[in-house]
Amino acid sequence: MARRTPARKLRRLVLDVLKPHSPTLPEFATKLSSMPGVDGVNVTLIEIDKDTETLNVTIEGQLDYGVIRSAIEEWGGVVHSVDEVVTGSLAGGATERRLRLRTYESRS
Domains in the chain, ordered, with CATH?
Answer: 10-87 (3.30.70.1340)
- Entry pTM: 0.76
Q: Directed axis angle between helix 65-74 and helix 25-33, to 10°?
A: 150
Confidence band of 103 (pLDDT split at 50, 70, 90): very low
Q: What are phi and psi of 37, to 5 degrees?
A: 85, -10
- Counting residues of the chain whose pLDDT is more than 90, the rounded percentage is 71
**Contact indicator for 76, 20 with CB cutoff of 8 Å:** yes
Over residues 51-95, the pLDDT tens digits come to: 999 999 999 999 999 999 999 999 999 999 999 999 987 554 444
